Amino acid sequence: MAAHDRDDDTVDETVDEPMARPDGHRYERPESADDTRSKSWDYAVLGILVVVMLVLVATGTVPIFDF
């Protein structure tokens, strides 16, 4: 029975959408090379920022506790 042949107006997602799973979840499309490259730069910048902050805290330049 096709999705459009039903009497109760429900839609069978597995017939209409080839990427749909039976449990209702959908697959995400693969990332493009540009998206992957952009994310890698974002994570690299974030990592460098965290390392710089850790060094500043470890050397006492940025005090955390006021003793």
At residue 21, the pLDDT reads: 67
At residue 44, the pLDDT reads 95
User: What pLDDT sits at residue 46?
Assistant: 97
CA distance readout (Å), 43 to 32, 37, 40, 61, 63: 17, 10, 5, 25, 26
Contact in structure between 46 and 40 (CB atoms under 8 Å): no
> Running along the chain, 67 residues long, what does each successive block of 10 average in pLDDT?
51 55 75 88 96 94 82
